[in-house]
Amino acid sequence: MTETPLIGDLAAPAAGSALSGARIGVVTFPGTLDDRDAARAVRLAGGTAVPLWHAATELGDVDAVVIPGGFSYGDYLRAGAIARFAPLMDKIIDAAKSDAKLPVLGICNGFQILTESHLLPGSMIKNDHLKFLCRDQVLRIENNTTAWTSDYAAGQEITVPLKNQDGQFIADEKTLDALEAEGRVVFRYVGFNPNGSRRDIAGISNAAGNVVGLMPHPEHAVEAGYGPAHTGTDGLGFFTSVLNKLVGGK
């Protein structure tokens, strides 16, 4: 007989102190909301979270970057549109495109900022039902070779929270075909398409696989009891993936 899982009980943390040397930057813009949560996820995965301020002109000593969710600059114009022009974004864009291929993960608003920055193709528009929607969402990991998904099995289904108003992923047919052909559709919605996204796409990567963006929130499924009921920690793998890669590759 299993008991109701205790919350905050991390009996089997996924990573040891071996990973704490890896430093993952977490960006804060005015209006960012999930920065503390992303930092907690990095910590729980065993890494060291480094706060990054949008106005900084240097990226500093980080091995990877998470652009968390929220409503940067209120998202009044278009989601992510203003944040994309922050000084720090120039540095992130350069580093992501450089030979070093800085791993970058954009979650929700972070994904929107990455498409506005043209690091990832396509764009997000209003959900087809026009409402903000918060739900526990099943995703399929379609590609487990990216910097952020290597700790999952290909085809694995995970449950993480989804919460947004502008989550409908769109791109023209040619781009969509190319994304599929190149294995760059990294996550797909399973069972229910929550926003009308083309081809059930929940997240994608760039060609090199170091830049990944998705609408759902893995950082909200890293602690039993504080994420989706009865699963809870399915999102931790994003963070252990990149940490293992960083430590392994160093």
Partner 1 sequence: MPRIVVDVMPKPEILDPQGKAIVGALPRLGFTSFSAVRQGKRFELTVDGEVTDEILAQARNAAETLLSNPVIEDVVNIEVVEG
Partner 2 sequence: MTEVTQKFNIDTVEHAAQTPEQELPWAELGLKDTEFEEIVKLLGRRPTAAELAMYSVMWSEHCSYKSSKVHLRQFGEKVTEKMKEHLLVGIGENAGVVDIGDGWAVTFKVESHNHPSFVEPYQGAATGVGGIVRDIISMGARPVAVMDPLRFGAIDHPDTARLVHGIVSGIGGYGNSLGLPNIGGEVVFDSVYQGNPLVNALAVGVLRHEDIRLANASGVGNKVVLFGARTGGDGIGGASVLASESFDATKPSKRPAVQVGDPFAEKVLIECCLELFKASVVEGIQDLGAAGISCATSELASNGDGGMHVELTKVLLRDPSLTPGEILMSESQERMMAVVTPENVAAFEAIMDKWAVEYSWLGEVTDTGRLVIEWDGEKIVDVDPRTVAHEGPVYNRPYNRPEWLDSIQADSFTGSVQDAGRPQTPEELAAAVVELISSPNMASKDWVTNQYDRYVQGNTALAFPDDAGVVRVDEETGLGVSISTDANGRYSYLDPYEGARLALAEAYRNVATSGAKPLAVTDCLNFGSPEDPEVMWQFAESVRGLADGCQELGVPVTGGNVSLYNQTGGVAIHPTPVVGVLGVFDDVARRTPSGWAEDGQAIYLLGTTRDELGGSEWANLRGHLGGKPPVADLAAEKALGEILVNASRDGMIDAAHDLSEGGLAAALVEASLRFNTGARIGLDELCERDGIDLFTALFSESQARALVAVPRSEEIRFTDMCTARGFAHLRIGVVDAASEALDVQGRFSLPLAQLREANDAVLPKYFD
Q: Which of 123, 156, 193, 231 binds partner 1 (CB under 8 A)?
A: 123
Neighbour-count burial for 83-121, b at 16+ CB within 10 Å, e otherwise: bbebebbebbbebbeeeeebbbbbbbbbbbbbbbbebbb
- How is residue 111 written in tokens? 């994904």
Site for partner 1 in 151-180 (CB under 8 A): 168, 170-172
What is the DSSP code string of 187-245?
A: EEE-S--SS--GGGEEEEE-TTSSEEEESS-GGGSSSTTSSSTT---TTHHHHHHHHHH
Q: How far is the CB of 28 from partner 1 (least distance, A)?
A: 17
Active site residue 108: yes
CB of 87 to partner 2, least distance (A): 13
Site residues for partner 2 per CB under 8 A: 1-4, 6-9, 30-31, 33-34, 36-37, 40, 70-71, 73-76, 129, 131-135, 161, 163, 165, 217, 219-220, 222-223, 225-227, 229-230
13 versus 225: smaller Cβ distance to partner 2: 225
Determine, following the binding rule CB under 8 A, whether residue 196 of this chain makes contact with partner 1: yes
Q: Is the dihedral of CA 250, 113, 35, 129 positive or negative?
A: negative
Point out the catalytic residue in the list 54, 116, 142, 217: 217
Determine if 94 is a binding residue for partner 1 (CB under 8 A).
no
